[in-house]
Copies of this chain bind each other. A is one copy, B any other.
């Protein structure tokens, strides 16, 4: 299914849909602030399945994925517009009330205001398009392009959980509570991602991160995005990658959708990153060294294999 990913990348490149090449577009707002703009499209049976989640969790996730983009650049989310294409079967149910309840609950947590949107009927699939506007002090947005050889690489939390959750859902497991048992936690990582807005904001305020990205495509792909934008290479310690309980190493590397942040900092500021609870997983090197995974057997090329969640559903 690689062709789908290639196709979308071709279209994005061909038509400059990511002109800035970061999680959000950045534009000057006034003399003190820049604005961040991001949009995320979720389509039924591509990005979610109604029988795998609840309306409230879907509302949560629709906003969370966009807040994660704002978080990756160190911004503060401010406004949202929400577009819905609704198949007829959902009209006379409580679906939308519950969906908005989940959406608004997360919006309230981060003080995001819904300022508009559009609604249409949809002949087949439920369509959700989430547009979020954020702010960041002028020229302080954390870009993907600032990583330098010698910088340390951190992630904000455990990885692989979202891919584990996806596998569990495919195997018929369902979320029955939001408790701590490993299966339910895996499902929650897939169905209710937590956007790392606060830590992103702290990284920006402290001027700590030289580069950042949110882990939406997967560690291998998202690290490659930083390396490409920064013109650097990277070495990741296999044993250092924090795994969600039950997740495989493959899920952590290539699963995607964990929505933790991946960021780089100058080595001398290691203690500040550790104080934030972030986990050190490796180091930035020169581009000529490539992107390597180090385990007990030696060094291996770490090829970007993320975004498989796209094909998996």
Contacts and interface: CB of A to CB of B under 8 A. Distances in A.
Contacts of A31: 30
Contacts of A84: 11, 41
A249 to B, nearest CB: 28
Contacts of A20: 115-116
Q: In this complex, which of A14, A85, A91 has the most chain B Cβ atoms within 10 angstroms of its Cβ? A: A85
**How many chain copies does the complex carry?**
2
A122 B45 CA distance: 9
Interface stretch (A32-40, A171-179, A232-240): A32-40
A263 interface: no
A116 B85 contact: no
A8 to B, nearest CB: 5
Contact of A131 (B81, B114, B125): B81
A256 to B, nearest CB: 14
A46 B125 contact: no
Contacts of A91: 7
Contact of A117 (B14, B17, B27, B47): B17
A118 B9 CA distance: 11
A188 interface: no
Contacts of A115: 19-20, 25, 27, 37
A119 B30 contact: no
Interface in A1-59: 4, 7-8, 11-12, 14-20, 24-25, 27, 29-31, 37-47
Interface of A: 4, 7-8, 11-12, 14-20, 24-25, 27, 29-31, 37-47, 79, 81-86, 91, 96-97, 100, 114-125, 127, 129, 131, 133, 310
Closest 9 CB pairs of A and B: A30-B30, A25-B115, A124-B124, A25-B116, A129-B129, A17-B117, A41-B118, A41-B83, A15-B100
